Amino acid sequence: MSVLEKINSKEFIALEDRFGAHNYHPLPVVLSRGEGVYVWDVDGKKYYDFLSAYSAVNQGHCHPKIVNALVQQAQTLTLTSRAFYNDKLGKYEKYITELFGFDKILPMNTGAEAVETAIKICRKWAYEKKGIDEHEAIIVVCDNNFHGRTTTIISFSNDENARKNFGPYTVGFIKIPYDDIEAFQFVLENNKNIAGFLVEPIQGEAGVYVPAENYLEQVKELCDQYNVLFIADEVQTGIARTGSLLAVCGNCTCENNCERQNTYAKPDILILGKAVSGGVYPVSAVLADDNIMHVIKPGQHGSTFGGNPLAAAVAKAALEVVGQENLIQNARALGKLFRAKLSEYIENSSIVSLVRGKGLLNAIVINDTEDSSTAWDICMKLAENGLLAKPTHGNIIRFAPPLVMNEEQLLDCVSIIIKTLKEFEK
Ligand SMILES: *Cc1c(COP(=O)(O)O)cnc(C)c1O
């Protein structure tokens, strides 16, 4: 790298630093181009992307089919608002509801908005269908959850950084430990006002915590038994990331309608975001069957951009790519290989204590204290060695490459990761 080029990237960083709010702490890498599993910085250095914009770019950077859908639609019609019908939304709604096996979709833009929407639907259902007294509905959530950044959502976070000094908080939530079916049962038995259970099928932000094999099936059973809505936040885990179309699909191998699989813990409300658009445009979705979705009537919820024709065209193309390019099977196979290779290395490692995950949503736990800078330092070194990843919580590094990766590329990445880790062995 020449001195001039270095100054160049420093200037971009200085601009963001000077004129942007400091609500993120990025690695000092300035990206200007992406294609498939790769991104390039302003100096032309090439990296494997092992974050995939928090699993929004499952289909790979700048996927030609998705970009083409964007360009075509952008030149035709972008936004009408929902004051009128448009010729793209209905087709997209039919496609996505059939793909995931629900009667209806409520289209939104960001993940947090979709979570908010699910909470509103759940509460309204509780009063109008379940018969809970007004203002009494409770939604159960999990410790260490991540569902987004709005005022209501951070109200039930236990991340002090996300919460502190943003109160007063929204009431109506109970927190229980994750992956603890007895704790859930206890809450259900002792409170008649439970309306729903909002849960991530795998806790991504918390550090890629995969629950026990049958946890979600048990959750679904209890929800059915107590007439409580099972609300799955698949914003990060959905769309093939974990080696099935949805993480709630468990070990099914089907590509499309996971309902056919008996391992499928079908949620009452499904929340999708991120990879719904392949990272090309902000698109999120809430899916539910008619008996639930019908509680929302005209004027009771909405969004100017939600369901716009550009989003509909992009999302439909992005979802089609998942099946066309076998991303489910690929994520499953490469995920197994990734964990096998890293497990083998970890056996004799003093710096990494474990690897865990499902499909291509994985994490390693660094053998150091949670407040140490080791994970950050490893990520800096990984970047230097041509691979971008970021610590999630303190000493945990998440590895989530685009699902269009091939085996040769994955093995190349494994050797970069192992080579880098070796530099930190004591
Ligand atoms: C990213 C994420 C969200 C929030 O999505 P935004 O688009 O950032 O608002 C919600 N839930 C989960 C599980 C996520 O990973």
Domain 9-59+327-422: give its CATH code.
Answer: 3.90.1150.10
Q: What is the whole-number distance in angstroms between the Cα of residue 347 and the centre of ligand 1?
A: 34
3-class SS string, the chain: CCHHHHHHHHHHHHHHHHHCCCCCCCCCCCEEEEEECEEEECCCCEEEECCHHHHCCCCCECCHHHHHHHHHHHCCCCCCCCCCCCCCHHHHHHHHHHHHCCCEEEEECCHHHHHHHHHHHHHHHHHHHHCCCCCCCEEEEECCCCCCCCHHHHHCCCCHHHHCCCCCCCCCEEEECCCCHHHHHHHHHHCCCEEEEEECCCECCCCCECCCCCHHHHHHHHHHHCCCEEEEECCCCCCCCCCCCCHHHCCCCCCCCHHHCCCCCCCCEEEECHHHHCCCCCCEEEEECHHHHCCCCCCCCCCCCCCCHHHHHHHHHHHHHHHHCCHHHHHHHHHHHHHHHHHHHHCCCCCEEEEEEECCEEEEEECCCCCCCHHHHHHHHHHHCCEECEECCCCEEEECCCCCCCHHHHHHHHHHHHHHHHCCCC
pLDDT at 6: 56
pTM over 0.85: yes
In testing the pocket of ligand 1, which one of 117, 202, 236, 284 has its CB within 8 Å of the most ligand atoms?
236
Write down the catalytic residue from 41, 49, 179, 233: 233
* pLDDT score, position 74: 98
CB 256 within 8 A of CB 245: yes
What pLDDT score was predicted for residue 251?
A: 59
* Distance of CA 147 from the midpoint of ligand 1 (Å): 5
- Which residue in the list 100, 146, 184, 230 is annotated as catalytic? 146
Q: Identify the CATH number of the domain defined by range 64-324.
A: 3.40.640.10
Among 108, 144, 274, the mutation site with the greatest number of ligand 1 atoms within 8 A of its Cβ is: 274
Q: How far is the CA of 148 from the centre of ligand 1 (A)?
A: 5
pLDDT at residue 259, rounded to an integer = 47
Task: For the chain, give every domain's residue range.
Answer: 9-59+327-422, 64-324
Q: What is the dihedral of CA 96, 100, 103, 109, to 10 degrees?
A: -50
Give, for all 426 residues of the chain, the pLDDT tens digit.
555 555 689 999 999 999 999 999 999 999 999 999 999 999 999 999 999 999 999 999 999 999 999 999 999 999 999 999 999 999 999 999 999 999 999 999 999 999 999 999 999 999 999 999 999 999 999 999 999 999 999 999 999 999 999 999 999 999 999 999 999 999 999 999 999 999 999 999 999 999 998 999 999 999 999 999 999 999 999 999 999 999 998 656 555 555 445 557 899 999 999 999 999 999 999 999 999 999 999 999 999 999 999 999 999 999 999 999 999 999 999 999 999 999 999 999 999 999 999 999 999 999 988 888 999 999 999 999 999 999 988 899 999 999 999 999 999 999 999 999 999 997
